[in-house]
Amino acid sequence: MQPSNEPFILKLPHPYLTTYTATNVAAKDEPVRYQIQQAAIQNKDTGIPPPTPLHDDTIQFTKIALLAEDSTPPAGDNSSWARARRTPHSTISWTGERPSAAQVWLITYFIISLHPLVESFRIIFDGDDASALATELYGTGLFIPHPRSLDPSAASDGHLLLRGTFWQGAGSPFGPRPAWTPMLDANNKPITAQYPLFPFQTAPTTQSSVTSRHTSHPVRPAKPAAGSIIYSRWIPHLGEHLTFIAVNYRDPEHLNLFHTWQNDPRVAAGWNETGTLEEHQEYLRKLHEDPHVFAVFAAFEGKLFGYHELYWVLESPVGAHYQAGLYDRGRSSMVGDSSFRGPARASAWWSAIVHYFFLDDPRTDAIVGESRAAASSASSFAYDFAHGFHVVKFLDFPNKRSALKMVNREKFFTLSPLVWDGEKAVRPSLDALSKL
Protein backbone atom coordinates (compact mmCIF):
# COMPACT_ATOMS: atom_id res chain seq x y z
CA MET A 1 0.00 0.00 0.00
CA GLN A 2 1.23 3.50 -0.77
CA PRO A 3 2.04 5.87 2.09
CA SER A 4 -1.12 7.55 3.38
CA ASN A 5 0.07 11.04 2.41
CA GLU A 6 0.35 10.12 -1.28
CA PRO A 7 -2.85 10.02 -3.36
CA PHE A 8 -3.56 6.61 -4.87
CA ILE A 9 -4.65 6.87 -8.51
CA LEU A 10 -7.24 4.79 -10.36
CA LYS A 11 -8.53 5.39 -13.86
CA LEU A 12 -11.75 3.98 -15.23
CA PRO A 13 -11.56 1.57 -18.17
CA HIS A 14 -12.48 2.53 -21.73
CA PRO A 15 -14.50 4.31 -22.92
CA TYR A 16 -14.59 6.51 -19.77
CA LEU A 17 -10.93 6.93 -18.68
CA THR A 18 -11.88 9.25 -15.81
CA THR A 19 -9.09 9.67 -13.25
CA TYR A 20 -9.82 9.45 -9.51
CA THR A 21 -7.58 9.81 -6.49
CA ALA A 22 -7.96 8.57 -2.93
CA THR A 23 -6.34 11.04 -0.53
CA ASN A 24 -5.94 10.91 3.24
CA VAL A 25 -8.06 13.80 4.58
CA ALA A 26 -7.61 13.05 8.29
CA ALA A 27 -5.86 15.51 10.57
CA LYS A 28 -2.25 14.76 11.45
CA ASP A 29 -2.92 12.74 14.60
CA GLU A 30 -6.18 11.11 13.50
CA PRO A 31 -6.64 7.65 11.94
CA VAL A 32 -6.34 7.60 8.16
CA ARG A 33 -9.56 8.46 6.30
CA TYR A 34 -9.68 8.55 2.51
CA GLN A 35 -11.78 10.73 0.27
CA ILE A 36 -12.18 10.05 -3.44
CA GLN A 37 -11.90 13.00 -5.78
CA GLN A 38 -12.01 13.33 -9.53
CA ALA A 39 -8.54 14.38 -10.60
CA ALA A 40 -7.67 17.12 -13.05
CA ILE A 41 -5.07 14.84 -14.69
CA GLN A 42 -5.54 14.86 -18.45
CA ASN A 43 -5.59 11.54 -20.28
CA LYS A 44 -3.87 11.10 -23.61
CA ASP A 45 -7.18 9.81 -24.99
CA THR A 46 -10.38 11.66 -24.22
CA GLY A 47 -13.00 9.47 -22.59
CA ILE A 48 -16.71 10.02 -22.07
CA PRO A 49 -18.35 10.89 -18.73
CA PRO A 50 -19.50 7.89 -16.67
CA PRO A 51 -23.27 7.32 -16.83
CA THR A 52 -23.69 8.33 -13.17
CA PRO A 53 -21.53 10.30 -10.69
CA LEU A 54 -19.07 7.95 -9.00
CA HIS A 55 -17.73 10.22 -6.27
CA ASP A 56 -19.16 12.50 -3.61
CA ASP A 57 -17.18 14.78 -1.28
CA THR A 58 -19.37 13.78 1.69
CA ILE A 59 -18.23 10.11 1.51
CA GLN A 60 -15.07 8.81 3.19
CA PHE A 61 -13.60 5.41 4.00
CA THR A 62 -11.05 4.37 6.60
CA LYS A 63 -7.78 2.56 6.23
CA ILE A 64 -8.28 -1.18 6.76
CA ALA A 65 -7.64 -2.52 10.27
CA LEU A 66 -7.94 -5.76 12.24
CA LEU A 67 -9.92 -6.45 15.39
CA ALA A 68 -8.08 -6.22 18.68
CA GLU A 69 -6.52 -9.52 19.68
CA ASP A 70 -8.94 -10.02 22.57
CA SER A 71 -11.89 -9.64 20.17
CA THR A 72 -10.55 -11.96 17.46
CA PRO A 73 -11.89 -15.55 17.30
CA PRO A 74 -9.28 -18.21 18.02
CA ALA A 75 -7.39 -19.68 15.07
CA GLY A 76 -9.01 -23.04 15.72
CA ASP A 77 -12.43 -21.61 14.86
CA ASN A 78 -12.70 -21.73 11.07
CA SER A 79 -16.43 -21.10 10.83
CA SER A 80 -17.72 -18.60 8.29
CA TRP A 81 -18.48 -16.21 11.15
CA ALA A 82 -14.95 -16.50 12.59
CA ARG A 83 -13.28 -15.99 9.22
CA ALA A 84 -15.41 -12.89 8.67
CA ARG A 85 -14.35 -11.47 12.06
CA ARG A 86 -10.68 -12.04 11.21
CA THR A 87 -10.87 -10.21 7.87
CA PRO A 88 -9.60 -6.62 7.68
CA HIS A 89 -12.36 -4.07 8.15
CA SER A 90 -13.01 -0.57 6.87
CA THR A 91 -15.80 1.92 7.55
CA ILE A 92 -17.51 3.79 4.73
CA SER A 93 -19.20 6.88 6.16
CA TRP A 94 -21.22 9.74 4.72
CA THR A 95 -22.76 12.94 6.04
CA GLY A 96 -25.24 13.62 3.24
CA GLU A 97 -27.60 11.34 1.37
CA ARG A 98 -26.63 7.70 1.28
CA PRO A 99 -24.18 6.77 -1.49
CA SER A 100 -25.39 5.13 -4.67
CA ALA A 101 -24.37 1.55 -5.41
CA ALA A 102 -22.15 2.95 -8.18
CA GLN A 103 -20.28 5.18 -5.70
CA VAL A 104 -19.73 2.25 -3.35
CA TRP A 105 -18.43 0.23 -6.31
CA LEU A 106 -15.71 2.83 -6.91
CA ILE A 107 -14.77 2.81 -3.21
CA THR A 108 -14.47 -0.99 -3.29
CA TYR A 109 -12.30 -0.67 -6.41
CA PHE A 110 -9.94 1.53 -4.40
CA ILE A 111 -9.95 -0.76 -1.35
CA ILE A 112 -9.19 -3.86 -3.41
CA SER A 113 -6.55 -2.05 -5.49
CA LEU A 114 -4.84 -0.75 -2.35
CA HIS A 115 -4.82 -4.26 -0.85
CA PRO A 116 -4.81 -6.67 -3.83
CA LEU A 117 -3.64 -9.73 -1.86
CA VAL A 118 -6.49 -9.57 0.67
CA GLU A 119 -9.23 -12.07 -0.18
CA SER A 120 -12.15 -10.45 1.67
CA PHE A 121 -13.00 -7.34 3.68
CA ARG A 122 -15.59 -6.54 6.33
CA ILE A 123 -17.17 -3.21 5.44
CA ILE A 124 -19.17 -1.16 7.95
CA PHE A 125 -21.63 1.44 6.65
CA ASP A 126 -22.05 4.56 8.80
CA GLY A 127 -24.69 7.08 7.72
CA ASP A 128 -28.37 7.60 6.94
CA ASP A 129 -30.21 4.70 5.25
CA ALA A 130 -27.27 2.32 5.74
CA SER A 131 -29.61 -0.66 5.93
CA ALA A 132 -31.26 0.23 2.60
CA LEU A 133 -27.84 0.63 0.99
CA ALA A 134 -26.77 -2.81 2.19
CA THR A 135 -29.94 -4.39 0.80
CA GLU A 136 -29.33 -2.78 -2.60
CA LEU A 137 -25.73 -3.97 -2.66
CA TYR A 138 -26.69 -7.53 -1.72
CA GLY A 139 -28.78 -7.54 -4.89
CA THR A 140 -25.69 -6.85 -7.03
CA GLY A 141 -23.58 -9.64 -5.53
CA LEU A 142 -20.87 -7.11 -4.63
CA PHE A 143 -21.55 -7.65 -0.90
CA ILE A 144 -22.96 -10.52 1.10
CA PRO A 145 -24.35 -10.45 4.65
CA HIS A 146 -22.02 -11.10 7.57
CA PRO A 147 -22.33 -14.80 8.52
CA ARG A 148 -24.04 -15.50 11.85
CA SER A 149 -22.47 -17.32 14.78
CA LEU A 150 -24.16 -20.17 16.62
CA ASP A 151 -23.85 -17.88 19.62
CA PRO A 152 -26.67 -15.30 19.20
CA SER A 153 -24.76 -12.78 21.31
CA ALA A 154 -21.68 -12.81 19.05
CA ALA A 155 -20.98 -9.63 17.06
CA SER A 156 -21.81 -9.69 13.37
CA ASP A 157 -21.54 -6.05 12.34
CA GLY A 158 -20.54 -5.19 8.79
CA HIS A 159 -20.96 -6.70 5.35
CA LEU A 160 -18.53 -8.90 3.43
CA LEU A 161 -16.83 -7.62 0.30
CA LEU A 162 -15.27 -10.51 -1.64
CA ARG A 163 -12.35 -9.76 -3.95
CA GLY A 164 -13.29 -12.61 -6.28
CA THR A 165 -16.84 -11.42 -6.92
CA PHE A 166 -15.64 -7.85 -7.45
CA TRP A 167 -13.24 -8.97 -10.18
CA GLN A 168 -16.05 -10.98 -11.77
CA GLY A 169 -17.86 -7.70 -12.36
CA ALA A 170 -20.33 -7.60 -9.47
CA GLY A 171 -21.91 -4.17 -9.05
CA SER A 172 -20.45 -2.74 -12.26
CA PRO A 173 -22.09 0.68 -12.82
CA PHE A 174 -21.74 0.54 -16.60
CA GLY A 175 -24.50 -1.86 -17.56
CA PRO A 176 -24.79 -5.65 -17.80
CA ARG A 177 -21.22 -6.17 -19.03
CA PRO A 178 -18.45 -6.18 -16.38
CA ALA A 179 -16.61 -2.87 -16.20
CA TRP A 180 -13.44 -4.16 -17.91
CA THR A 181 -15.13 -5.75 -20.94
CA PRO A 182 -16.99 -2.92 -22.70
CA MET A 183 -19.24 -3.51 -25.70
CA LEU A 184 -17.94 -0.97 -28.23
CA ASP A 185 -18.35 -0.36 -31.95
CA ALA A 186 -15.55 0.00 -34.51
CA ASN A 187 -15.10 3.65 -33.41
CA ASN A 188 -14.90 2.57 -29.75
CA LYS A 189 -18.22 4.20 -28.90
CA PRO A 190 -20.55 2.35 -26.51
CA ILE A 191 -23.13 0.05 -28.08
CA THR A 192 -26.24 1.10 -26.19
CA ALA A 193 -28.50 -1.72 -27.41
CA GLN A 194 -27.64 -4.64 -25.14
CA TYR A 195 -29.46 -7.92 -24.84
CA PRO A 196 -29.65 -10.94 -22.51
CA LEU A 197 -26.86 -13.52 -22.47
CA PHE A 198 -26.43 -15.18 -25.86
CA PRO A 199 -28.76 -18.19 -25.89
CA PHE A 200 -27.74 -21.84 -26.01
CA GLN A 201 -28.26 -23.56 -29.35
CA THR A 202 -26.09 -26.29 -30.85
CA ALA A 203 -24.60 -26.40 -34.34
CA PRO A 204 -22.20 -28.76 -36.11
CA THR A 205 -18.69 -27.94 -37.30
CA THR A 206 -16.32 -29.94 -39.48
CA GLN A 207 -12.62 -29.21 -39.23
CA SER A 208 -10.02 -30.45 -41.67
CA SER A 209 -6.42 -30.08 -40.59
CA VAL A 210 -4.62 -33.41 -40.83
CA THR A 211 -7.84 -35.43 -40.60
CA SER A 212 -11.48 -34.34 -40.61
CA ARG A 213 -13.15 -33.96 -37.22
CA HIS A 214 -16.83 -33.37 -36.61
CA THR A 215 -18.08 -31.62 -33.47
CA SER A 216 -21.36 -30.35 -32.08
CA HIS A 217 -21.09 -27.19 -30.02
CA PRO A 218 -23.04 -24.09 -28.97
CA VAL A 219 -23.59 -21.41 -31.59
CA ARG A 220 -21.08 -18.67 -30.77
CA PRO A 221 -22.03 -14.99 -30.55
CA ALA A 222 -20.88 -12.55 -33.21
CA LYS A 223 -17.31 -11.44 -32.73
CA PRO A 224 -16.49 -7.87 -31.61
CA ALA A 225 -16.15 -5.21 -34.29
CA ALA A 226 -12.72 -5.11 -35.91
CA GLY A 227 -10.65 -2.38 -34.28
CA SER A 228 -12.80 -2.21 -31.15
CA ILE A 229 -11.44 -2.40 -27.59
CA ILE A 230 -12.72 -5.58 -25.96
CA TYR A 231 -10.89 -5.30 -22.60
CA SER A 232 -9.54 -2.33 -20.67
CA ARG A 233 -8.02 -2.14 -17.19
CA TRP A 234 -5.85 0.39 -15.35
CA ILE A 235 -2.65 -1.24 -14.07
CA PRO A 236 -1.66 0.67 -10.89
CA HIS A 237 1.93 -0.57 -10.63
CA LEU A 238 2.61 0.60 -14.20
CA GLY A 239 0.39 3.69 -14.19
CA GLU A 240 -0.92 2.64 -17.61
CA HIS A 241 -4.03 1.24 -19.25
CA LEU A 242 -3.86 -2.26 -20.70
CA THR A 243 -6.21 -2.90 -23.59
CA PHE A 244 -7.05 -5.74 -25.97
CA ILE A 245 -8.13 -4.64 -29.45
CA ALA A 246 -9.86 -6.81 -32.06
CA VAL A 247 -7.53 -7.17 -35.06
CA ASN A 248 -8.62 -5.51 -38.30
CA TYR A 249 -6.89 -7.34 -41.15
CA ARG A 250 -7.81 -4.49 -43.52
CA ASP A 251 -5.98 -1.94 -41.34
CA PRO A 252 -2.47 -1.38 -42.78
CA GLU A 253 -1.04 -0.72 -39.30
CA HIS A 254 -2.42 -3.98 -37.93
CA LEU A 255 -1.35 -5.98 -40.99
CA ASN A 256 2.18 -4.54 -41.15
CA LEU A 257 2.75 -5.07 -37.45
CA PHE A 258 1.57 -8.69 -37.60
CA HIS A 259 3.77 -9.26 -40.67
CA THR A 260 6.84 -7.73 -39.01
CA TRP A 261 6.41 -9.71 -35.80
CA GLN A 262 5.81 -13.05 -37.51
CA ASN A 263 9.03 -12.62 -39.51
CA ASP A 264 11.05 -11.86 -36.38
CA PRO A 265 13.25 -14.95 -35.76
CA ARG A 266 12.40 -14.86 -32.03
CA VAL A 267 8.67 -15.05 -32.74
CA ALA A 268 9.04 -17.43 -35.68
CA ALA A 269 10.81 -19.96 -33.46
CA GLY A 270 7.55 -20.50 -31.62
CA TRP A 271 4.86 -19.64 -34.17
CA ASN A 272 6.37 -20.88 -37.48
CA GLU A 273 4.28 -18.39 -39.45
CA THR A 274 6.87 -16.50 -41.49
CA GLY A 275 5.56 -15.30 -44.84
CA THR A 276 4.81 -12.46 -47.21
CA LEU A 277 2.50 -9.56 -46.48
CA GLU A 278 -0.13 -11.13 -48.74
CA GLU A 279 0.13 -14.48 -46.96
CA HIS A 280 -0.27 -12.83 -43.59
CA GLN A 281 -3.29 -10.84 -44.75
CA GLU A 282 -4.89 -14.07 -45.92
CA TYR A 283 -4.05 -15.70 -42.58
CA LEU A 284 -5.78 -12.92 -40.68
CA ARG A 285 -8.72 -12.87 -43.11
CA LYS A 286 -9.40 -16.55 -42.45
CA LEU A 287 -9.31 -15.92 -38.71
CA HIS A 288 -11.71 -13.01 -39.16
CA GLU A 289 -14.20 -15.24 -40.97
CA ASP A 290 -13.87 -18.18 -38.57
CA PRO A 291 -16.59 -17.87 -35.89
CA HIS A 292 -14.66 -20.10 -33.48
CA VAL A 293 -11.54 -17.95 -33.04
CA PHE A 294 -10.61 -14.29 -33.16
CA ALA A 295 -7.38 -12.34 -33.07
CA VAL A 296 -6.58 -9.43 -30.76
CA PHE A 297 -3.67 -7.07 -30.23
CA ALA A 298 -2.57 -6.07 -26.74
CA ALA A 299 -1.55 -2.50 -25.97
CA PHE A 300 -0.21 -0.45 -23.07
CA GLU A 301 -1.37 3.17 -23.30
CA GLY A 302 -2.30 2.57 -26.94
CA LYS A 303 1.12 1.13 -27.91
CA LEU A 304 0.59 -2.28 -29.53
CA PHE A 305 3.04 -4.85 -28.18
CA GLY A 306 1.45 -8.31 -28.31
CA TYR A 307 -0.85 -10.60 -30.27
CA HIS A 308 -3.28 -13.29 -29.11
CA GLU A 309 -5.56 -15.80 -30.78
CA LEU A 310 -8.60 -16.52 -28.61
CA TYR A 311 -10.62 -19.63 -29.37
CA TRP A 312 -13.50 -21.79 -28.23
CA VAL A 313 -11.84 -25.05 -27.24
CA LEU A 314 -14.60 -27.45 -28.24
CA GLU A 315 -14.15 -26.62 -31.93
CA SER A 316 -10.34 -26.42 -31.79
CA PRO A 317 -7.69 -29.12 -32.29
CA VAL A 318 -7.07 -29.02 -28.53
CA GLY A 319 -10.70 -29.95 -27.91
CA ALA A 320 -10.14 -33.38 -29.42
CA HIS A 321 -7.72 -34.29 -26.63
CA TYR A 322 -9.84 -33.92 -23.49
CA GLN A 323 -13.48 -33.73 -22.41
CA ALA A 324 -13.86 -30.03 -23.20
CA GLY A 325 -16.69 -28.05 -21.62
CA LEU A 326 -19.23 -26.32 -23.85
CA TYR A 327 -17.81 -22.88 -23.05
CA ASP A 328 -14.13 -23.62 -22.36
CA ARG A 329 -11.77 -21.06 -23.89
CA GLY A 330 -8.12 -21.09 -24.87
CA ARG A 331 -5.44 -18.78 -26.22
CA SER A 332 -2.14 -18.62 -28.06
CA SER A 333 -0.03 -15.56 -27.24
CA MET A 334 3.11 -13.74 -28.22
CA VAL A 335 4.92 -10.53 -27.34
CA GLY A 336 5.97 -8.95 -30.62
CA ASP A 337 7.74 -5.92 -29.14
CA SER A 338 10.55 -7.26 -26.96
CA SER A 339 10.79 -3.98 -25.04
CA PHE A 340 7.54 -4.98 -23.32
CA ARG A 341 8.86 -8.25 -21.94
CA GLY A 342 9.49 -8.90 -18.23
CA PRO A 343 7.34 -9.80 -15.21
CA ALA A 344 6.09 -6.27 -14.47
CA ARG A 345 4.20 -6.21 -17.78
CA ALA A 346 3.72 -9.93 -18.39
CA SER A 347 1.92 -10.30 -15.06
CA ALA A 348 -0.60 -7.70 -16.27
CA TRP A 349 -1.46 -9.07 -19.70
CA TRP A 350 -1.18 -12.75 -18.72
CA SER A 351 -3.82 -12.36 -16.03
CA ALA A 352 -5.91 -10.08 -18.23
CA ILE A 353 -6.38 -12.68 -20.98
CA VAL A 354 -7.80 -15.16 -18.47
CA HIS A 355 -9.79 -12.40 -16.79
CA TYR A 356 -11.33 -11.42 -20.13
CA PHE A 357 -12.41 -14.99 -20.90
CA PHE A 358 -14.21 -15.45 -17.59
CA LEU A 359 -15.91 -12.05 -17.87
CA ASP A 360 -16.92 -12.42 -21.50
CA ASP A 361 -19.29 -15.33 -20.76
CA PRO A 362 -20.24 -16.36 -17.20
CA ARG A 363 -20.79 -19.91 -18.47
CA THR A 364 -17.08 -20.32 -19.15
CA ASP A 365 -15.70 -22.42 -16.31
CA ALA A 366 -12.24 -23.41 -17.59
CA ILE A 367 -9.42 -21.81 -19.56
CA VAL A 368 -6.75 -23.94 -21.23
CA GLY A 369 -3.39 -23.38 -22.82
CA GLU A 370 -0.88 -25.61 -24.49
CA SER A 371 2.87 -25.18 -24.60
CA ARG A 372 5.57 -27.28 -26.20
CA ALA A 373 6.78 -29.79 -23.60
CA ALA A 374 10.38 -28.59 -23.74
CA ALA A 375 12.85 -26.53 -21.75
CA SER A 376 12.28 -23.63 -24.15
CA SER A 377 8.75 -23.26 -22.73
CA ALA A 378 9.88 -22.89 -19.09
CA SER A 379 8.80 -19.23 -18.93
CA SER A 380 5.34 -20.03 -20.28
CA PHE A 381 4.90 -22.77 -17.69
CA ALA A 382 6.03 -20.48 -14.87
CA TYR A 383 3.57 -17.72 -15.79
CA ASP A 384 0.71 -20.17 -16.24
CA PHE A 385 1.41 -21.78 -12.87
CA ALA A 386 1.55 -18.34 -11.27
CA HIS A 387 -1.97 -17.71 -12.55
CA GLY A 388 -3.45 -20.91 -11.19
CA PHE A 389 -2.98 -23.29 -14.12
CA HIS A 390 -1.93 -26.91 -13.68
CA VAL A 391 -0.81 -29.54 -16.18
CA VAL A 392 -3.67 -31.85 -17.11
CA LYS A 393 -1.92 -34.14 -19.58
CA PHE A 394 0.43 -34.24 -22.55
CA LEU A 395 -0.88 -33.81 -26.10
CA ASP A 396 0.77 -35.44 -29.10
CA PHE A 397 0.18 -33.33 -32.20
CA PRO A 398 1.65 -34.29 -35.60
CA ASN A 399 4.40 -31.71 -35.21
CA LYS A 400 5.08 -31.58 -31.46
CA ARG A 401 4.34 -32.81 -27.96
CA SER A 402 2.61 -30.22 -25.81
CA ALA A 403 1.40 -29.94 -22.24
CA LEU A 404 -2.28 -29.14 -21.72
CA LYS A 405 -2.69 -26.65 -18.88
CA MET A 406 -5.94 -25.56 -17.27
CA VAL A 407 -7.38 -23.21 -14.64
CA ASN A 408 -11.01 -23.11 -13.54
CA ARG A 409 -13.09 -20.08 -12.62
CA GLU A 410 -13.21 -20.73 -8.88
CA LYS A 411 -9.46 -21.11 -8.53
CA PHE A 412 -8.62 -18.08 -10.67
CA PHE A 413 -10.89 -15.72 -8.76
CA THR A 414 -9.88 -17.18 -5.39
CA LEU A 415 -6.28 -16.35 -6.26
CA SER A 416 -7.22 -13.17 -8.20
CA PRO A 417 -3.66 -12.88 -9.57
CA LEU A 418 -4.24 -9.42 -11.04
CA VAL A 419 -1.26 -7.72 -9.43
CA TRP A 420 2.51 -7.84 -9.76
CA ASP A 421 4.27 -8.50 -6.46
CA GLY A 422 7.47 -6.73 -7.48
CA GLU A 423 9.60 -9.84 -7.92
CA LYS A 424 12.02 -9.85 -10.84
CA ALA A 425 11.32 -13.51 -11.61
CA VAL A 426 7.83 -14.95 -11.71
CA ARG A 427 6.89 -17.17 -8.79
CA PRO A 428 6.30 -20.84 -9.57
CA SER A 429 2.77 -20.75 -8.10
CA LEU A 430 0.34 -18.56 -6.22
CA ASP A 431 -1.30 -21.57 -4.58
CA ALA A 432 0.54 -20.81 -1.34
CA LEU A 433 -1.56 -17.65 -1.01
CA SER A 434 -4.88 -19.35 -1.66
CA LYS A 435 -7.34 -20.56 0.93
CA LEU A 436 -8.08 -23.74 -1.01
Q: Torsion-angle region of residue 163: left (phi > 0), alpha (psi -120 to 50) or beta?
A: alpha
Give the burial class of 199: count Cβ atoms within 10 A of its Cβ; 0-12 exposed, 13-18 middle, 19 or more buried: exposed
Residue 148 scores a pLDDT above 60? yes
Residue 112 scores a pLDDT above 90? yes
Q: What are 131-143's pLDDT values in tens digits?
A: 999 999 999 999 9
Q: How far is Cα 169 from Cα 197, in angstroms, rounded to an integer?
A: 15
Residue 311 scores a pLDDT above 80? yes
pLDDT recorded at residue 372: 79
Give the burial class of 361: count Cβ atoms within 10 A of its Cβ; 0-12 exposed, 13-18 middle, 19 or more buried: middle
pLDDT recorded at residue 428: 54
Q: What are 234-281's pLDDT values in tens digits?
A: 999 999 999 999 999 999 999 999 999 999 999 998 899 999 999 999
- Between these two residues, 115 and 210, which has the higher pLDDT value? 115
pLDDT recorded at residue 379: 82
Q: How far is Cα 382 from Cα 35, in angstroms, rounded to an integer?
A: 39
- Choose, from 30, 289, 370, 410, the residue flagged as catalytic: 370
Q: What domains does the chain contain, in order, with CATH numbers?
A: 8-168 (3.40.630), 216-415 (3.40.630.30)
Output the pTM of the full model.
0.93
State the average pLDDT for the chain: 90
Q: How far is Cα 307 from Cα 297, in angstroms, rounded to an integer?
A: 5
Residue 435 scores a pLDDT above 50? no
How confident is residue 400, by pLDDT bands cut at 50, 70 and 90?
Answer: confident
CB 161 within 8 A of CB 120: yes
How confident is residue 436, by pLDDT bands cut at 50, 70 and 90?
Answer: very low
- State yes or no: is 119 an active-site residue: no
pLDDT recorded at residue 213: 64
How confident is residue 38, by pLDDT bands cut at 50, 70 and 90?
Answer: very high
Give Cβ neighbours of residue 148 (< 8 Å, ≥ 6 apart).
Answer: 81, 154, 156
